[in-house]
A and B are shown apart, each in its own frame.
Chain A
């Protein structure tokens, strides 16, 4: 039984570039959330999607965007990368939009140089 899968696992980008991170939730899960985890800190909420609609947005600039597809997979896009965007990006899936446990993927380690 596959858990939450994220791709790629590691990525190096140059300042000013854009990046797309991908997430496939657990089969049957309809909600996907994205978090940013800077080294040595707890994850910070970026977005939540449920049934392809945005349900929540964290305190991140408009350079960050996301979407959810009909198969419930999701993409996180970051434009005009800054050095400070270097972090572990985590995707979490849950069965529904509320009241259920969140299961995390292993994350995408993004390094901006």
Chain B
């Protein structure tokens, strides 16, 4: 059972366009929602994260929008660049003692020059 559902599986945008990746979660016990960027052969790198008491967080070209009532959150990449081409994962972390991250299946983003 996939507790964090991510879409789309793959995405291609033109340079300068907006990339949008969506995630939905089922468990209301999550208290932290990070996005990770992963390049081939590398470990995931934390991109941006949000807590459920905030509806939006922006860092440079990256914005997370969070809808607590709908249990959905999304990543927007503004002015997408070829260097942004990577796999993006959303994740959710349980509250409590076991702080494991539950991951989405990933979105492969390609940005055409």
Contacts and interface: CB of A to CB of B under 8 A. Distances in A.
B99 A98 contact: yes
B41 A106 contact: yes
- From A33, A55, A98, A99, residue with most partner B Cβ within 10 Å: A98
Contacts of A98: 97, 99
A41 B32 CA distance: 21
Given A42-B89, A101-B46, A33 B100 contact: yes
A58 B100 contact: yes
B110 interface: no
Nearest to B100: A45
A44 B46 CA distance: 16
B18 interface: no
Contacts of B36: 104
- Range, interface on chain B: 20 to 34
B105 A42 contact: yes
Contacts of A45: 100-102
B97 A102 contact: no
Interface of A is mostly: loop
- From A4, A45, A97, A102, residue with most partner B Cβ within 10 Å: A102
A28 B23 CA distance: 32
A66 interface: no
A90 B44 contact: yes
B25 to A, nearest CB: 13
A16 interface: no
Interface string A65-92: 0000000000000000000000000100
Given A48-B99, A103-B46, 17 more contacts: A4-B43, A41-B106, A42-B103, A42-B104, A42-B105, A42-B106, A43-B44, A45-B102, A48-B98, A48-B100, A55-B97, A90-B44, A97-B97, A97-B99, A99-B32, A99-B99, A101-B46
